[in-house]
A and B are shown apart, each in its own frame.
Chain A
Amino acid sequence: MLVAVTVAMLASGARAQTSNPFTGNAAGVDEGRSLYNDTCTRCHGANGAAGEFGPGLAIPGRSYARNTDAEIFTAIKQGIPGTVMPAHQGKLSDEQIWKITAYVKGLRGTAIDAPAPGDVVHGEAVFWGKGQCGTCHMIHGRGGIVGPDLSNLAGLRKTNSIIDALTREQHRVYGPGGAQPHTLTPLPTYPVVRVTTADGVTVRGVLRNEDSFSMQILGLDEKLHLVDRSRLKNVVYEPRSLMPTDYDKRLSKDEFGDLVAFLTRLGEPPPPSQPPVRMPGKDPD
């Protein structure tokens, strides 16, 4: 029915088409991937990670200036004034641009868009119980603080990425390819460090930031340790994450599946971008 409506819209030559005729169309999305690889990766990089000249189009957790299919379609077709993003009108057909749009949108989806099946209530019990996940992770104010807060896990990560984190040693989230960072942030990963001060005090924890002169460590004692490197006797970067990666073995198949069902429902899809809000105040206008 939806397909019929879309086809009818295309046939009627609707001027400002806003819905993407290739949404959910596997062959179209795959062709979009191929077109993206031919046209877009040089600037934007592969798989939605950022490239050499352009921003990443599908980096989990980032917000986008263009969210709807129509906005993405227009940016590809007409370019973006004031930037080096060129217009592709004449080089690509509208149909091809819609396919690329469908591919880009697909890259952006996270676990919450298609949660894994399973017993969610049981999965939550595994999280707080046998899985001991709450020792390090917090959800809506409950749990430990040393690991990442998981309240919006499924809104940020893909299902495969969540399963990898539970099962694959040295799992890591790939960074933004060759792009330079645009803002200063805490470390995107949680490397484990052990430092010893000149007084002989040892602190072990996860590194939240560092530079050549200082370190900011969230200790396993759940305290922040703000350290001047020049006062340290010893710094050890431990090679392994604190995150266990054998949950598919330490849990039964049902327990694991239910845990994934629970985790892939944590959070909400990212809200559409909105213009900045001016709050009432005493500023003279």
Chain B
Amino acid sequence: MRLQSVFLSGLLLTGAPAAAQTPDPASADPGDWLTYSGQYHSQRHSLLKEINTANVHTLQARWVYHMTGQKDLEATPIVANGVMYISQYNRIDAIDAATGNVIWQFQRQPIATGAQRGTGFWNNKLFVTTSDKHLVALDARNGSVLWDVAVEGGLQLVGQAPLIVKGKVIVSGNQPHGFIQAYDAETGKHLWSWSPIPADDDPALASWGGQKPDGMPIWVSGSYDPELNLIYYGTGQPEPQWAGEGRKGDNLYSDCIVALDADTGKLRWWYQNTPHDTHDYDSLEMPVLVDAPWKGKPRKLLMQANRNGYFYILDRTNGEFLQATPFVSKIDWTRGIDAKGHATPDPAHDPSVQGTTTCPSTAGATNWPSPTYDPQLKMFYVVAQEGCGVNLRDTARNYAGTGYLESPEPGKSWQLYTRALDAFTGRKVWDYEQVTSHHYGPGLMSTAGGIVFSPEEFGQFTALDSKTGKVLWHFNTGDVITASPVSYSVNGRQYVAIISSSNVFAFGLPDDRKKP
């Protein structure tokens, strides 16, 4: 029996593409999940379809792995050559993706917890962001350290899953202000750095009303177009976060989608979703790259469901604004978006001492949890959060702080939905209400099997029909889910995995071979 399965796996491996030993995120082997969003275009759409609408009701847990000493994991598992890699700051566990048995563990001291969202795989290497301002490369076979470098400039990297493109490890951070850096994946050598702070000779500097630009954290991974050789990232909110009177103007390059040359880190174009932000509408939501006709002409598009409540479509070759449509029921922070895509904020919704109700809330119409795009159905699925928030501030000083409260309407706290949009009109096709889930929520994944896998904050892992949103299957994982699901295959068997707090669950169809 054992011999047979070894033979079978060997057979399948030799039958796989030649790159199987060192899979590349640019290749489209659906059996692996090599980067945060699965592939560079970040569609999060698995081409696997062994699990489909006809049999998903029989889905069962195949194994569970507990990552000791951890909680609240936000990592997307990375899967390459039948091995799954689960990450945290300073930590990676490698497990057999078919059985859940641990193969090796890497723990750099100290044990850390925090919002770390995954590792990246490249040429049999994995990359770890540390809590002490280092970047480390491990050998994916045994967890040995291949190189360990101090982060350029002595900066702290955030938990953004490293994006590996053309042999470069792309990482980012928030302090002292947002930045993106690239390192050579083979040696750890620093290659370039970019910051959304405009340079002294950049006309964008005038968009700060004389104040020194500040803020703009970059804390989620981006996407990559190999043909254009551009990486796409979102940037965060300007500082001071809630007080805009000292920074009159649009405050570039805050709350932007930016396209950088992958080789040099030079800014090629930008589009600003939220000019002069006073509500913390970071543009860190995943930019999804789609090649499709737009008004009859084939175009390279970029789609993003933004925290500010609009679903955007841009031309990703040059950043041209094509369309913005609301994807939540109420938006009042802006007076509107003009034909060129420039939004004018409504100062009546600036934070105030008594509290200003603004829609969407600061937590956003959506947030970092990933959306997914089904290229067959041409549907965009997003975790949408309905509800408004109260922004407070202390007027004593420009830098005066504040916070935000839950929905002020009694009995109407925020509510999360798994929402299907027609990707080209932005029209809502269906909604699935995630009962009891109110904050951010986990991310989504669609599959060629016609399913949207929709984990819920309060532990349910649910399979929805991609066309209708109908519930086909669900499983209570028993803990809070703040991560995104992935799918992969080992020996021809499809698995769907999700991390729930500190436990990794892998689901598959019943194993008929074990039946008497």
* One of A170, A174, A181 near B457 (C-beta < 8 A): A181
Which segment of B108-116, B226-234, B262-270, B490-498 sits at the interface?
A: B108-116
How far does the alpha carbon of A231 sit from the alpha carbon of B457 in the complex, in Å?
24
Determine, out of B14-22, B297-305, B399-407, the stretch whose residues face the partner at the interface.
B399-407
| B374 at interface, CB cutoff 8 A | no
Q: Which residues in B have their C-beta under 8 angstroms from that of A142?
A: none
> In the assembled complex, which residues on chain B have CB atoms less than 8 Å from the CB atom of A52?
280, 362-363
Instruction: Report the nearest A residue to B407, measured CB to CB.
Output: A175
Q: Mark A180-212, 1 if CB is under 8 A from B, else 0.
A: 111110010001000000000000000001111
A45→B241 CA distance, assembly (Å): 12
B434 touches A212 (CB 8 A): yes
A165 within 8 Å of B (CB atoms) = no
- A174 and B460: CB pair below 8 A? no
B153 within 8 A of A: no
- The proximity string for A residues 74-97 relative to B, scoring 1 for CB distances below 8 Å and 0 otherwise, is 000000011110100000000000
- How many A-B Cβ pairs are below 8 Å? 116
Complex CA gap A175/B413 in Å reads: 9
Scan B365-381; emit 1 where CB is below 8 A from any A CB, else 0.
00000000000000000
Task: Report the separation of the CA atoms of residues A39 and B241 in the bound assembly, to the nearest whole angstrom.
Answer: 12
Question: CB-nearest residue of chain B relative to A237?
Answer: B411
Q: How far is the CA of A2 from the CA of B389 in the complex (A)?
A: 44
Pick the contact of A42 from B397, B401, B432 — CB < 8 Å? B401
Which residues of the partner chain A approach B405 to less than 8 Å between Cβ atoms? 46, 49, 174, 177
- Interface residue ranges of B62-77 to A (CB < 8 Å): 71-72
Q: Contact: A178 with B114, CB < 8 Å? A: no
Tell me if B422 counts as interface (CB < 8 A to partner A).
Answer: no
Contacts of B110 in A (CB 8 A): 81-82
Chain B nearest Cβ from A280, distance in angstroms:
24
Nearest neighbor of A213 in chain B, beta-carbon distance: B474
Q: Please state if B479 and A184 are interface contacts (CB–CB under 8 Å).
A: yes
Tell whether, in the assembled complex, residue B435 and residue A211 are in contact, meaning their CB atoms are under 8 Å apart. Answer: yes
Question: Which of A49, A83, A209 is the one whose CB lies under 8 Å from B403?
Answer: A49
Chain B 454-487 per-residue mask, 1 if CB under 8 angstroms from chain A, else 0: 0011111010000000010010101110100000
The answer, among B241, B400, B404, for a CB contact under 8 Å with A178, is: B404
Q: Which residues of A contact B480 (CB under 8 A)?
A: 180-184
Determine whether the beta carbon of A212 is less than 8 Å from that of B399.
Answer: no
Query: In the bound complex, how far is the Cα of B392 from the Cα of A47, in angstroms?
Result: 11
Q: Chain A nearest CB: distance from B380 CB in Å?
A: 22
Residue pair A84, B401 in contact (C-beta under 8 Å): no
* Assembled-state Cα–Cα distance A39/B397 (Å): 12
State how many angstroms separate the Cβ of B27 from the closest Cβ of chain A.
35
Q: For residue A182, which residues in chain B have a CB less than 8 angstroms away from its CB?
A: 71-72, 480
**Bound-state Cα–Cα, A40 to B403, Å:** 10
CA distance in complex: A212, B457 (Å):
12
- Distance from B279 Cβ to chain A, minimum over Cβ atoms (Å): 12
B405 CB to nearest chain A CB (Å): 6
A41 touches B403 (CB 8 A): yes
Q: Does A21 sit within 8 A of B, measured CB to CB?
A: no
For A82, the chain B residues whose CB sits under 8 A away are 89-90, 110-113, 131
What 0/1 pattern do residues 32 to 53 of A give for CB contact below 8 A with B? 0010111111100111010111
B350-363, CB under 8 A of A: which get 1 and which 0? Answer: 00000000000111
Q: Is residue A179 within 8 Å, beta carbon to beta carbon, of the partner chain?
A: yes
A239 within 8 A of B: yes
**At the interface, yes or no: B440 with Cβ under 8 Å from chain A?**
yes
Q: Within 8 Å CB of B241, what residues of A? A: 42
Asked if A211 and B401 make an inter-chain contact with CB atoms under 8 angstroms apart, the answer reads no
Report whether A180 and B439 are in contact in the complex, using a CB–CB cutoff of 8 Å: yes
Which single residue of chain A is at the shortest CB-CB distance from B74?
Answer: A180
Of the residues A184, A191, A210, A239, contact of B478 by C-beta under 8 Å = A184
Q: Is there a chain B Cβ closer than 8 Å to A233's Cβ?
A: no
Interface string of A201-236 (1 = CB under 8 A from B): 000000001111100000000000000000000000
Across-interface contacts of B440 in A (CB, < 8 A)? 180
Contact B402 A211 (CB under 8 A): no
Please report the total number of B residues contacting A with Cβ < 8 Å.
55
Whether the pair B404, A177 counts as a contact (CB closer than 8 A) is yes
Instruction: Kindly state whether residue B394 has any CB partner on chain A within 8 Å.
Output: yes
CB proximity to A under 8 Å, residues B412-471: 413, 432-436, 438-440, 456-460, 462, 471
Distance between B454 CB and nearest chain A CB, rounded to angstroms: 10
**Bound Cα distance A187, B459 (Å):** 14
Take A37-B394, A177-B405, A180-B480 as given contacts and tell me if A170 and B474 are in contact as well, using a CB distance cutoff of 8 Å. no
Interface check B410, CB cutoff 8 A:
yes
**A211 to B458, Cβ gap below 8 A?**
yes
- B339 contacts A by Cβ under 8 Å: no
Q: Any chain A CB within 8 A of the CB of B396? A: yes
With most chain B CB atoms within 10 A of its CB, the pick from A40, A51, A175, A180 is A180
Chain B residues with CB under 8 Å of A174's CB are: 405-406
Structural contact, A34 and B439, CB atoms closer than 8 A = no
CB atoms of A175 and B399 under 8 A apart: no
Q: Is A66 an interface residue (CB 8 A)?
A: no
A47–B403 touching, CB < 8 Å: yes
Please name all residues of chain B whose beta carbon is closer than 8 Å to the beta carbon of A86 when the two chains form the complex. Answer: 175
Q: Does A172 contact B (CB under 8 A)?
A: yes
Which residues of A sit under 8 angstroms from B394, Cβ to Cβ? 34, 37
Contacts A47-B403, A180-B482, A181-B480 given; indicate if A210 touches B435 (C-beta within 8 A).
Answer: yes
Report the minimal beta-carbon distance from A228 to chain B, rounded to whole angstroms: 12
CB-CB under 8 A from A191, the residues of chain B are 411
Contact of A38 with B401 in the complex, beta carbons under 8 Å:
yes
Restricting to B49-84, which residues have a CB under 8 Å from any CB of A? 71-72
- When C-beta atoms are compared, the residue in chain B nearest to A36 turns out to be B401
Which residue from B396, B404, B406, B436 sits with its C-beta under 8 Å from A34? B396
Q: Is the CB–CB distance between B474 and A38 below 8 Å? A: no
B459 contact from A45, A46, A184, Cβ within 8 A: A184
CB distance from A81 to the nearest CB of B (A): 6
- What residues of B have a CB within 8 angstroms of the CB of A170 in the complex? 410-411
The 8 closest A-B pairs by CB, nearest first: A46-B403, A37-B401, A170-B410, A41-B401, A45-B403, A82-B112, A82-B110, A212-B435
Interface residues of A (CB under 8 A from B): 34, 36-42, 45-47, 49, 51-53, 81-84, 86, 170, 172, 174-175, 177-184, 187, 191, 209-213, 239
What would 26 A/B residue contacts be, using CB atoms closer than 8 Å? A36-B401, A37-B394, A37-B401, A38-B399, A38-B401, A40-B401, A42-B241, A42-B401, A46-B401, A53-B115, A81-B110, A82-B90, A82-B131, A175-B406, A177-B404, A179-B439, A180-B457, A181-B439, A183-B479, A184-B458, A184-B479, A209-B436, A212-B434, A212-B456, A212-B460, A212-B471
Extra contacts besides A37-B402, A38-B400, A178-B361 (17): CB < 8 Å: A34-B396, A37-B401, A38-B397, A38-B399, A38-B401, A46-B405, A51-B403, A82-B110, A82-B112, A84-B156, A177-B406, A180-B440, A181-B480, A183-B480, A184-B480, A212-B433, A213-B474
